[in-house]
Amino acid sequence: MEEKIIAKIEEYDYIAIYRHVNPDFDAFGSQLGMYDMIKATYPDKKVFLCGDFSSELVKKYTVVFEHQEVDYTKDILGIVLDTANIERIDDQRYQLCKEIIKIDHHLVVDSYGTLNYEDSSASSASQLVGTIFKDTAMKITKSGAEALYLGIVGDTARFMYRNTDERTFAVAGALVQEGIDIVEIYNRIYMKKAKDLQINKFILNNHQFDGGVAYYVLSDADLKMLEISRERGSDFVNLLSGVEEYKIWMALTENVADHNWRVSLRSRDYAVNKVAEKYNGGGHMLASGAKLASLEQLGQLLQDLKEIINE
């Protein structure tokens, strides 16, 4: 598959790279890593990065790029990364591309590509992009290697999740050989600010526990009081991990713009993705996202989660 992807890239002078909405470290890492690889290997190609880049996470990456509008009057090859279904692609103009390459590590929902590189056993989309680099003659800069490493670390929680295997470490090793500083990368991800301790305090003091499910709720007023974005509010979900009694843990954050509540679900052992799918979401077995139209649905969500614990 890697050689087929490269052959398709070589056919096009114009390439647009996409990823999912509400991007995380892996979404940005795989997107920026692929961008860097193509520019380093084929400097004459015109490569576009698509989607919203207002996230605070963008500052964690050092890949230099120009955010330009895609000229869809040209024959465009679209590359969509880390996105299982077409509804979550950030910038629906991807449909104007002549051909699509899908590279994703989620459970298969939509095989929407002309080429589909789908491997749900992989730790991350960044691992799949890194595999292309490792196993072919594609080039990459230090910044591109850092982006892919950030993506892998973000989706494996520093190589702690079960989807980490020998392939993950092989790709990480190839990226380290490009001269990246892993300590500096970890500092970019995990270094806290003093106000983060106040956010931790608020969550720990106000989180709830119900039948094996631990959770916290951040209303729009809470987010404003804590001076964090809706997206940042979900980032603290793993503050509730590592507690023996907490079988499933989750964050609920109010999304005023879309008039709903975003849910981030995590577990060590239980298939939370099955529940997430009932609430306009999905994802990995042990890490998924969902949406509630209102907090009135929270009781039913808790009941569904407790049922999978007690099965």
Q: Give the C-alpha distances (Å, rounded to integers) separating 83 from 24, 96, 103.
A: 11, 17, 8
Q: What is the pLDDT of residue 125?
A: 97
The pLDDT of residue 300 is 97
Distance CA 70, CA 57 (A): 23
Q: What is the pLDDT of residues 78-98, one digit of tens each?
A: 999 999 989 889 999 999 999
User: Which residues of the chain carry a pLDDT beneath 50?
Assistant: none
Report residue 102: phi and psi, to 5°: -105, 130
Q: According to DSSP H, which parts of the chain are helical? A: 2-11, 25-41, 125-135, 142-156, 166-176, 182-190, 194-206, 220-226, 230-234, 272-276, 298-310
What are the beta bridge partners of residue 249?
A: 214, 266
**170-212 pLDDT tens trace:** 999 999 999 999 999 999 988 888 989 999 999 999 999 999 9
Write down the pLDDT at residue 250: 97
Give the pLDDT score at 83: 94
Question: 120: Cβ–Cβ under 8 A, 6 or more apart, which residues?
Answer: 105, 106, 107, 108
pLDDT at 95: 95
- 3-state class (DSSP) for residue 124: coil
Q: What is the dihedral of CA 153, 154, 159, 165, to 10 degrees?
A: -90
Tell me if the pTM is above 0.75: yes
Specify the pLDDT at position 266: 95
State the Cα–Cα distance between residues 254 and 298, nearest whole angstrom. 12
Quote the crossing angle between the two packed helices 125-135 and 2-11, to the nearest 10°: 80
Beta-carbon contacts of residue 184 (< 8 Å; ≥ 6 apart)? none
Identify the structural domains of the chain with CATH numbers, from first to last. 1-190 (3.90.1640.10), 195-308 (3.10.310.30)
